[in-house]
Structure 1
Amino acid sequence: MNRPLLWMLGSIVVLGLLITTMAGVNFSSQTTSTDGQPPIVLYCAASNRAVMEAIRERYEDEYAREIQIQYGPSQTLLSSVDVSGAGDLFLPADDSYLKLAQQKGLIREILPIADMQVVVAVRRQDAENIQSLDDILSDSVKLVQASPETAAVGKLVQQTLQQSGQWDDVSAATVAYRATVTEVASDIVVGAADAGFVYDAVLHTYPDLVAVELPELKPAVSRVAVGVIDQSKQPTAALHFARYVSAKDRGLIQYDQQGFQTAGHDVWADVPELSVFAGSMLRPAIEDTIAAFEEREGVTVNRVYNGCGILVAQMQAGQHPDAYFACDQEFMNQVHDLFPQPVQVSQNELVILVQKGNPHNIASLKDLAREGLRVGIGHEKQCAMGWITQNTFREGGVQEEIMPNVTVQTPTGDMLVNQLQTGSLDAAVAYLSNAAGAGEFLDAIQITGIECSTAVQPWAVNKESSHPETASRLFQKICSTESQEIFAAEGFRWRLESDEIR
């Protein structure tokens, strides 16, 4: 059969699969579960069918919520998501399809699951004779593979062998292209082909086939993940099932048993509880975002806002939150054993806050040493603000002159703002963000020429967290465009690059 005819037949198969999938979506949208709740609709790659059926059965037994699954090639499923605007979850064979869907605005959250390695499948009795790429390219071997136009495994094989300069020879030796990886395996089982490119995990359900690992295909690894469809009308329910699928003590048990490569991930909880410690000055920048995350995910986030010195003392005494958002890198360094991989998210600068109109004509740090002024600062041991303030005083050479005028040292900047507004202080050294929302009462005077007057806020997830993936999704929400706008409105400057978000 010539190559153009092969591609034409492949396109006909793809069109048929797309029509079938679309019909299934329309049917799903009109049905409800036995308890009156609409079913959760999942678009799932054919390579994951066996494992997903086992997970679906257990989930439905445990939660009495119906899961409807449309199986097919990854590209066809992506087209269905794009065209229909329906469904709740998308699980392709490779996360490149999720990234593409995200770029199109079709997908919101992405939950990682497992890896699959591309291998060559052969019948057990033929394994001794087919051990290398040269063997596969022999005229006596009938080679089939999944279409690069529809299936993740086909696209990955093509990309990998193009990079090594071997794709043209493999393509020329291919006698047929199939729509899915399972069709490739079935061809080999019935003798319609001698060899084919498949995922190692797919062979778990084909006992008559064995895998031949080729060095040329070592880079061909698919990352399996599930994404929440942006137009889902039940995102909380969709996320509940997605967390179940990706939990190490639920769905990943099935993935492990069926030959997928898994690592890390969350412990299952019907309603996960995250514990987040954050410096008090960050509260106005993240509180609304955390509340929205709780509602969408159906989780509880127990947050503790306080001076970072106090938070560090609590952690050193044995309280270990899932995540920590520090006011400055110094206070993250003090708990580096718990949070070894922090990322710097934002920055905030110290300013001199005075009452509106600056009645005492304060223009610089030196002016805070004037006789009779009542000055408030952060407590050096209890908060990052106090620690940075003392460093700023020392670097500016004014510490000894200013400290006699300091009448208040607090663990948070908000307390200083309150005392300025009530008239019990004449000036305070606090963060610019502390003045946000108080512009009609206060003026902020910039501190110039002193580098250490800027605080950098790092975020990190506890290396021992039971819910690292949920914490990671919370961080992605904090890094969203909407959240960054809140940071800017609260006086912070964003500094995290998009490729550092994880």
Structure 2
Amino acid sequence: MKPWPVFGQASVGISRMLQVKPTRFFVNLFLCELDGKVIRKRFIMAESSHKYGERGGSGWILLLATAFLASLMVFILNNDSSLLESGEDQELLVYCAAGVKRAVEEVAGKFEQELGIKIVLEYASSGVLANKLKTDRESGIARADVYIPADYVYTERAAADGLTAESMKVASWKVVFAMKSDSGQSPDNVDALLEQKLSIVLCDPLAGVGQKTKKMLQNSGHWTAIEATKTATFPTVTEAALAVKENAGTHGAFIWDSVARQFGLKVVELPELESSKADISVAVTSSTARPSKALKFARYLAAPSKGGDVFAAHNYQPISGDVWALNPKLRIDCGGVNREAIEKTIKEFQQRESCTIDVVYAGCGTLVGKMQTGDQGLPDLFMTCDASYLDMIQKKMGNPFGPDVRLSSTRIVMLVAKGNPMEIQSLKDLGNPGLRVGTTDPKASTLGAMSHQLIRETGQFDAVKENIVMMADTAHTLVQTMEAGEQLDVAMVYEANVQHLNGSFEFVPLENDYAIAVQNVAASKTTIYPNLATRLMERLGSITSRRRFEQLGFQWEADSE
């Protein structure tokens, strides 16, 4: 929030007396709506002492006071973005697996100190926390903002159940057999462990390590014997570790290696547990009223210089996330045909992620040319008018982009006046004497290149070329020219370009397979924000995005892959 102006000092004094934030005090004076959340304050109107026919000197003071408060309200709302997220503005509730308590507590403390957002942590096993998320939803209570389970399988289940949205992997660990530090000979395998008749404890299968241990030992055929041998089962991994360390009669436990080292226990890696690696992740809950703040905390946990350093210090294997930035910035080079379909999605993504997306719209020929010259460097993402342009840049520049996501397609059509007065039925008709044809520039535009190629395939290119009176920079320019009238008889555009036109026009579809342009998107391999770029690609492939593309006449392709 920006510094208060001089006239705000009085409001600060009043708010201190009321023991509320200045922002909160003035918001409570009004009924307003912020980001879909309604803030209500009940007004009790006292009986007026004003009598009609009598002059009073207080009316103008009341008017000025009202104007002052209204102006101050506008100032506050424009300068305190925290109000855009309801609830306790500077607090996040995190459901956290007990095994990552020490690391997450330390990261949360640093986050609070740097950003001023309080983190409230609730610990339990991953399964218990997942059940709490379900219970919260069934009760209609939006409690947790963030969920940090011990194994990514819990994150996947939570997402499938609609409990979480975005997620990021932050660190990994594996199951080991942990013993007291002064233990004698370590068992070489599970069979040797059973032969030694050691007193062992397990973790409940609701805990991530308990579930992983059971799976590994079931695969090796030892689960029944181990379960029969156990002396106790603990709800969390930290309780099991503490039992080994403090209880003289407990020889060992199957726990996470990171926790074993944190408690100073002897780590024994058994061959039956070789494939027990699990990824710790952080997920934003679907019900949070503070998604931007929750995502900031998630990105902070995953950033190598923030959470990564802390996890490493606590004996986890960090999984490198995006470089930390309070407000990260992405550049996307985007074919102009996609503009109307993605603008709202981009805006929503920026608001949710607290990031900046610079979108450069142009013909794909122009965009690819700029990438090759290297003047502006590669964009973080490239969204094409047609997939052939991504193939082109991959071939010419040594595959600088990662795997693509195929999103949509649209057909090239011939736009004509209502009733088709020139009787244009096929591409060959574009060579009719005196016809005025418009295309986009084939050197700068995917549409232009594809249109000219389609005409060449008819064998009539020379005749049609004589009739091309306009090669515009974009299809939008062609449509505007057709709407203006008297300059063009026909224009080659995308079907998606003409959905908004009224009954004054119609279009002639082209049946050639080459007349279909497929739009895809890919992220640069060198972007410093690969996770953010991936989330943007996922958002562009979402159900909401699909609806926007289809409303504009695109065919949706993402679900067909």
Query: Deviation at 1:139?
Result: 5.1
Aligned to 2:61: none
Work out which of the residue numbers 328, 351, 357 in structure 2 matches 1:295. 351
Query: Deviation at 1:411?
Result: 3.1
Query: Deviation at 1:439?
Result: 4.2
Query: Deviation at 1:465?
Result: 0.5
**Letter matched to residue 242 of structure 2:** S
Work out which of the residue numbers 218, 225, 248 in structure 1 matches 2:281. 225
Higher mean displacement: 47-56 or 163-172: 163-172
Cα contact 1:280–1:412 (8 A) shared by 2 = yes
Query: Deviation at 1:192?
Result: 4.2
Work out which of the residue numbers 395, 404, 414 in structure 2 matches 1:352. 414
In 2, Cα distance between equivalents of 1:344 and 1:445: 26
Aligned to 1:313: 369
In 2, Cα distance between equivalents of 1:107 and 1:484: 21
Write the mapping of 1:416-427 to structure 2, written as runs, cut at 5 A: 416-423=478-485, 424-427=487-490
**Does the C-alpha gap of structure 1 residues 204 and 62 become closer, same or farther in structure 2, counting only changes over 3 Å?**
farther
In 2, Cα distance between equivalents of 1:387 and 1:215: 59
In 2, Cα distance between equivalents of 1:250 and 1:193: 37
Aligned to 1:487: 549
**Does the C-alpha gap of structure 1 residues 177 and 264 become closer, same or farther in structure 2, counting only changes over 3 Å?**
same
TM-score normalised over the length of structure 1: 0.88
In 2, Cα distance between equivalents of 1:440 and 1:146: 69
Give per-residue Cα distances to partners, 1:273-306, cap 9 Å, x unaligned.
Answer: 1111110001111110110111111111111111
Q: Identity, % of aligned pairs?
A: 32
In 1, Cα distance between equivalents of 2:505 and 2:318: 54
In 2, Cα distance between equivalents of 1:353 and 1:299: 39
Query: Deviation at 1:413?
Result: 1.4
Write the mapping of 1:386-425 to structure 2, written as runs, cut at 5 A: 386-423=448-485, 424-425=487-488
SS at match of 2:493: strand
Aligned to 2:334: 278
Write the mapping of 1:191-230 to structure 2, written as runs, cut at 5 A: 191-207=248-264, 209-230=265-286
Higher mean displacement: 100-109 or 477-486: 100-109
Work out which of the residue numbers 109, 123, 128 in structure 1 matches 2:166. 109
**Letter matched to residue 320 of structure 1:** L
Give per-residue Cα distances to partners, 1:196-219, cap 9 Å, x unaligned.
Answer: 221222233122x12222222222
Work out which of the residue numbers 380, 384, 389 in structure 2 matches 1:331. 389
**Letter matched to residue 385 of structure 1:** L
In 2, Cα distance between equivalents of 1:127 and 1:463: 49
Aligned to 1:371: 433
Higher mean displacement: 339-348 or 281-290: 339-348
Give per-residue Cα distances to partners, 1:132-171, cap 9 Å, x unaligned.
Answer: 11122235211211111x2011112222332343322222
In 2, Cα distance between equivalents of 1:489 and 1:113: 38
In 2, Cα distance between equivalents of 1:267 and 1:484: 30
In 1, Cα distance between equivalents of 2:274 and 2:388: 42
Give per-residue Cα distances to partners, 1:2-61, cap 9 Å, x unaligned.
Answer: xxxxxxxxxxxxxxxxxxxxxxxxxxxxxxxxxx73411100001111110110111111
**Letter matched to residue 242 of structure 1:** A
Give per-residue Cα distances to partners, 1:402-426, cap 9 Å, x unaligned.
Answer: 2221111223211111111112211
**Letter matched to residue 357 of structure 1:** G
**Letter matched to residue 154 of structure 2:** Y
In 1, Cα distance between equivalents of 2:98 and 2:323: 26
In 2, Cα distance between equivalents of 1:454 and 1:127: 71
Q: Are 1:45 and 2:97 an aligned pair?
A: yes
SS at match of 2:173: strand
Aligned to 2:233: 177
Cα contact 1:43–1:69 (8 A) shared by 2 = yes
Work out which of the residue numbers 207, 216, 219 in structure 2 matches 1:163. 219
Q: Are 1:245 and 2:308 an aligned pair?
A: no
SS at match of 2:232: strand
Which one has the largest radius of gyration? 2
Cα contact 1:369–1:402 (8 A) shared by 2 = yes
Work out which of the residue numbers 273, 293, 313 in structure 2 matches 1:257. 313
Give runs of ≥4 in structure 1 deviating > 6 Å.
Answer: none
Give per-residue Cα distances to partners, 1:310-334, cap 9 Å, x unaligned.
Answer: 1112222222211111111221123
SS at match of 1:128: coil
**Does the C-alpha gap of structure 1 residues 407 and 220 become closer, same or farther in structure 2, counting only changes over 3 Å?**
same
SS at match of 2:143: coil
SS at match of 1:327: coil
SS at match of 2:492: strand
Aligned to 2:244: 188
**Does the C-alpha gap of structure 1 residues 287 and 422 become closer, same or farther in structure 2, counting only changes over 3 Å?**
same
Cα contact 1:142–1:175 (8 A) shared by 2 = yes
Give per-residue Cα distances to partners, 1:401-458, cap 9 Å, x unaligned.
Answer: 322211112232111111111122111112111112124343121101x221111212
Aligned to 1:78: 130
Cα contact 1:45–1:71 (8 A) shared by 2 = yes
In 2, Cα distance between equivalents of 1:109 and 1:66: 21
Q: Are 1:442 and 2:505 an aligned pair?
A: yes
Q: Are 1:463 and 2:520 an aligned pair?
A: no
Give per-residue Cα distances to partners, 1:358-408, cap 9 Å, x unaligned.
Answer: 221211111111111111112221121122222222333332332221111
SS at match of 1:232: coil
**Letter matched to residue 378 of structure 2:** H
Cα contact 1:136–1:143 (8 A) shared by 2 = no
- Structure 1 unmatched ranges of 5 or more: 1-35
In 2, Cα distance between equivalents of 1:271 and 1:127: 53
Cα contact 2:308–2:320 (8 A) shared by 1 = no
SS at match of 1:466: coil
Cα contact 1:123–1:188 (8 A) shared by 2 = yes
CA RMSD of aligned residues (A): 1.8
Q: Are 1:99 and 2:156 an aligned pair?
A: yes
Give per-residue Cα distances to partners, 1:449-502, cap 9 Å, x unaligned.
Answer: x2211112121111110111111111111111111111111121122248x7xx
Cα contact 2:169–2:319 (8 A) shared by 1 = no
